[in-house]
Structure 1
Amino acid sequence: MSTVLPASMDVSSTDKENGINPPKKIDAGALFVLKSKGSWLHCGYHLTTSIVGPVLLSLPFAMALLGWVPGVICLTLASMVTFYSYSLLSMVLEHYAQLGQRQLRFRDVARDTIGPRWGRYFVGPLQFGICYGAVILCTLLAGQSLKFIYLLSSPKETMQLYQFVIIAGALMLVLAQMPSFHSLRHINLVSLILCLAYSACAVAGSIYIGNSKDAPIQDYSVIGSRENRVFGAFNGISIIATTYASGIIPEIQATIAPPVKGKMFKGLCVCYTIIVTTYFSVAISGYWAFGNQSQGTLLANFMADDKKDLLPTWFLLMTNVFTLLQVSAVTVVYLQPTNEVFEKKFADPEMSQFSVRNVVPRLVSRSLSVVIATLLAAMLPFFGDIMALLGAFGCIPLDFILPMIFYNVTFKPSKRGLIYWVNTLIAMVSSVLTVVGAVASVRQIVLDAKTYRLFANM
């Protein structure tokens, strides 16, 4: 069977003269994992799950590092810039689709826009590392949620965190066998509902505690030495930038059935409606309730020993269950780029996706991928610090810098026009944030190194 990339129109001889190649034979990774069958609504579900995850519960902590005014400004700017960035990237992808050369992966866009070496040696490995790191972190978060649930029901028991991570990994092992990105559309619809649910619980819990007679002292000053405040501010900016990051926009747009024009923008509108609803409400209510006592995740404030009596056990249990279920969906979404790489390497596009020839390698490769991620999550319960460094090096370039470069190179806007300079300014500022955020993350790793221990019960 001969399979080619889906195209919105045929490639003419003029296109060939302009350097646009005809559709090439598709590989198994794109054919089986990135099936182009979805609607713009399905795209909205995928986008929401890829961006809106339990990491949003760290926004009150980011606000505590920045203060009220800088925190709200950073939240607003990050929302505007990422929506703009993802819209530009979508326009670049639509442009190639109209020329008959639809791009299904981030590295493909980089290859045809800024050169094959950028796609192969920079964007591809960077995206793979970020996505697989997200899988490890989400598995760890799922284990922590399981531990919270366990402690609520059996506070005197002594199971360790790594045991809960292994249980969470077993769940991921099953979900990882979903055959394609498109097959996750119903799971991601449930994920969208779940993120609204636990965000509502987070807001309600914050307001309840903040108004109670035993409410914590609400101090909104940024604490620490001048040096710590400066590095803390950059850490806060990095946290906010990472919560808005996706890194898999081309892969999500690849799930849309042709013609693709205008569909991604509708999906982004669905996603950002959820983002604005959840991010701002959680960040503002959590910071209002706990001030500079906000911890790395808002649930940790809820679960602190002196706060347990302020919230009913059933409420804490429900919030953690919602978080556990949604983080499972996020994990499976970020497995898709790694699944696509394995499928391209080991599957045969000339045979059925569900033939023995393709099912066996898929089962083995995906299972090994989840097992290794679970082992790393259990071994490195401080992986959040490492992920902050990966986020600074990866999320900001993929989501804030490269889309601007792709747009300027593809459409060549006038250097006298506003678009060119807005894109250039965003790329330059984001490059500075990448370097500073990486330095701040390394500093935090060094400061926390004394508490690091393999398989620690954190």
Structure 2
Amino acid sequence: MASVGVDSARISSEDGENGGGASSKDLDAGALFVLKSRGSWLHCGYHLTTAIVAPALLSLPFAFTLLGWSGGVLCLTAAGLVTFYSYNLLSMVLEHYAQLGKRHLRFRDMAHDILGPGWGRYFVGPLQLGICYGAVIACTLLGGQSLKFIYLVSRPNGSMELYQFIIMFGGLNLIMAQVPSFHSLRHINLVSLVLCLAYCACTTAGSISIGYSNNAPTRDYAITKVGLNRVFGVFNAISIIATTYGNGIIPEIQATIAPPVTGKMFKGLLVCYSVVISTFFSVAISGYWAFGNQAQGSVLSNFMVNGMPLLPKWFLLMTFVFTLVQVSAVLLVYLQPTNVVIERKFADPKMGEFSIRNVIPRFVFRSLSVIIATTLAAMLPFFGDIMALFGAFGCIPLDFILPMVFYNVTFKPSKRSLIFWGNTVIAIISIVLSLVGAVASVRQIVLDAKTYRLFANM
């Protein structure tokens, strides 16, 4: 970190458009150009919704196959309550420091000031960057898979392979990645919010339609795994649900809010979680009800059997197009921490944001980051297994553990208080789940290793 003054964005919350009163000389180029503080609480809600309500939620019926009805509903509900509480705690800590004139714009800035410089530089910063860039790779893979589904619905005997569709999707992202700042995504993320509601409604309606049709599969809700496999399956399912709720960029999202920030993040969370409740539960319950323990990693895969669609082609195409477009918006959100690092390293905050000096390195290095992500997605079409490991190591610490620690260290609640022990218990349970989930994820990677092949047409 260059200095506490720069990295913590020590700013007043009373005036100024960039982080509440800091002059541009107080901010590095990453904070100055990417994390512009100009948005409203409603814009914050759009960003939060895009970060959380992503096509990864289509794996929730599969998580239910490892947990059963009662376990699935219980874990889905518990994770929703804990993450809402956790994100609100994180917001309260951010607001507290903003009122002290030391607004944090990045997760690593919080860790730097609350836990010490080493935590920000060597743990939180690299962990967040790795998780978010992993999400970019996963979104690129998912976008390519969506394109391939659209192609196969239109041409069932088509010969194009997955890596070709991933490259096509990467080409789109190459253009979209040049959007200058997080705040610039507000209109894109409003469209994303509408699209996630649309494809979740289509998925729910499609599952119910198939469940009541003559082609309905034989439904069995019994958990097929036994013994040790069943235990690891439970932890894999918990990791899937935790990763689905996770995002790891709450400080960066709150950084887009124009000062004063007090109370705005809570309103944004209410917008986001109204969408979360309506989408997560409808997709998880309808998908598991329709397909039982045959629900696949993405429930949309159950809509086709042996290449034959169980629903009208136009309906499938519409659903896949909604998913494809929304995943592009999700990718842009998770690209922002990488963009912050790129601007901080290669841009000059003393020059204009759109000066030749800053535009050229921005274009070159953002394009390079998209090209690398696209190449990795094409090479590793089994990246879902790796993301489960990333989720256990990254999403759980960032979203379930650190907010509890930050709150207790910042506000120092009495050790006899309910909030202190509640936060402590949540943090301890999350640490255990993170460690066991990581072991379960590594075990699953080892089991699936025999099917791994670079550039596989999966």
Q: TM-score, normalised by structure 2?
A: 0.95
Q: 1:314 to 1:145 in 2, by over 3 A?
A: same
Pairwise mapping of residues 357-436 of structure 1 onto structure 2 (< 5 A)?
A: 357-436=357-436
Aligned AA for 1:368? Answer: L
- Structure 1 outlier segments of 4+, above 3 Å: 3-6, 21-24
What 5-or-longer segments of structure 2 have no aligned partner? 1-5, 16-21
1:42 aligned partner: 43
**Structure 1 position 229, deviation (Å):** 1.1
Q: Partner of 1:61: helix, strand, or coil?
A: helix
Matched letter for residue 72 of structure 2: G
1:306 positional shift = 7.0
Aligned residue for 1:221, secondary structure, equals coil
Judge conservation of contact 1:74–1:240 (CA < 8 Å) in 2.
Answer: yes
Aligned match of 1:66: 67
Q: Which amino acid aligns with 2:83?
A: T
The answer for the alignment partner of 1:84 in structure 2 is 85
Deviation at 1:224, TM superposition (A): 2.1
Superposed, 1:79-228 pairs within 5 Å as 79-228=80-229
TM-score under structure 1 length normalisation: 0.95
User: Are 2:270 and 1:269 aligned?
Assistant: yes
CA contact (8 A) 2:179 2:185 kept: yes
Q: CA deviation at 1:135?
A: 0.3
Deviations 1:106-151 (A, max 9, x none): 0000000011100000000000000000000000000000000011
**Is the Cα contact below 8 Å between 1:28 and 1:349 reproduced in 2?**
yes
The number of aligned residues is: 446
Alpha-carbon offset, residue 453 of structure 1: 0.1
Which one-letter code corresponds to 1:319 in the other structure? T
Would the aligned equivalents of 2:136 and 2:331 in 1 still touch at CA under 8 Å?
Answer: yes
| Amino acid across the alignment from 1:34 | L
2:297 alignment partner, SS class: coil
Please give the alpha-carbon distance, in whole angstroms, between the structure 2 residues aligned to 1:261 and 1:82: 20
Percent sequence identity over aligned pairs = 74
Contact 2:25 2:350 in 1 (8 A): no
Give the 5 Å matches for 1:326-341: 326-341=326-341
- The secondary structure found in structure 2 opposite 1:394 is helix
Displacement, 1:307? 5.7
* 1:376 Cα deviation from its structure 2 partner: 0.2
DSSP-derived class of the 1:67 partner: helix
- Structure 1 residues 405 and 161: alpha-carbon distance in aligned structure 2, compared to 1, 3 A threshold: same
Measure, in 2, the Cα distance between the counterparts of 1:7 and 1:333: 27
Residue type of the alignment partner of 1:383: F
Once the two structures are TM-superposed, the CA of residue 8 in structure 1 deviates from its matched residue by 1.5
> How far, CA to CA, are the matches of 1:282 and 1:303 in structure 2?
17
Mark the CA change 1:356 to 1:22 in structure 2 (over 3 Å): closer, same or farther: closer
Structure 2 equivalent of residue 283 of structure 1? 284
Runs (5+) with no aligned partner, structure 1: 11-20
Given that residues 9 and 98 in structure 1 are in contact (C-alpha distance below 8 angstroms), is that contact kept between their aligned partners in structure 2? Answer: no
Cα gap change, 1:306 to 1:33, in 2 (>3 Å): closer
Q: Kindly tell me: are residues 441 and 258 of structure 1, through their superposed partners in 2, closer, same or farther at Cα, counting changes over 3 Å?
A: same
- Partners of 1:56 and 1:456 lie apart in 2 by 24
CA contact (8 A) 2:156 2:307 kept: no
Q: Deviations over 1:250-298 (max 9, x none)?
A: 0000000000000000000000000000000000000000000000001
Amino acid of the residue matched to residue 62 of structure 2? F
CA distance in 1, matches of 2:207, 2:455: 31
Name the residue aligned to 2:13. 8
Deviation of the 1:22 alpha carbon = 12
Question: Separation in 1 of the partners of 2:316 and 2:299?
Answer: 12
For the residue of structure 2 that corresponds to 1:393, the secondary structure is: helix
Q: 3-state DSSP class of the match of 1:258?
A: coil
- The residue aligned with 1:238 is 239
CA contact (8 A) 1:6 1:258 kept: no
Instruction: Say whether residues 1:451 and 2:451 are aligned partners.
Output: yes
| Structure 2 counterpart of 1:182, one-letter code | H
- Residue 126 of structure 2 aligns to a residue in which SS? helix
CA offsets per residue over residues 358-407 of structure 1, 9 Å max, x none?
00000001000000000000000001101110110000000000000000
Q: Measure the CA separation in 2 of the matches of 1:296 and 1:96.
A: 41
Q: What amino acid sits opposite 2:447 in the alignment?
A: L
How far off its partner does 1:157 sit?
1.5
Instruction: Work out the CA distance in 2 between the residues paired with 1:129 and 1:421.
Output: 31
Alpha carbons 1:379, 1:456 under 8 Å: kept: yes
Q: Distance in 1 between matches of 2:305 and 2:449?
A: 23
Q: Is the 8 A contact 1:8 1:259 kept in 2?
A: yes
The answer to whether residue 317 in structure 2 is matched with residue 312 in structure 1 is no
C-alpha deviation, 1:303, in angstroms = 2.3
Assess if the C-alpha contact under 8 Å between 1:5 and 1:24 holds in 2.
no
SS at match of 2:26: coil
Measured on the aligned residues, the alpha-carbon RMSD in Å equals: 1.6
| 1:296 matched residue in structure 2 | 297
CA distance in 1, matches of 2:313, 2:371: 33
Q: After superposition, give the CA deviation of every residue in 1:189-218 in whole Å (9 maximum; x if it has no partner).
A: 000000000000000000000011221111
Amino acid at match of 2:279: T
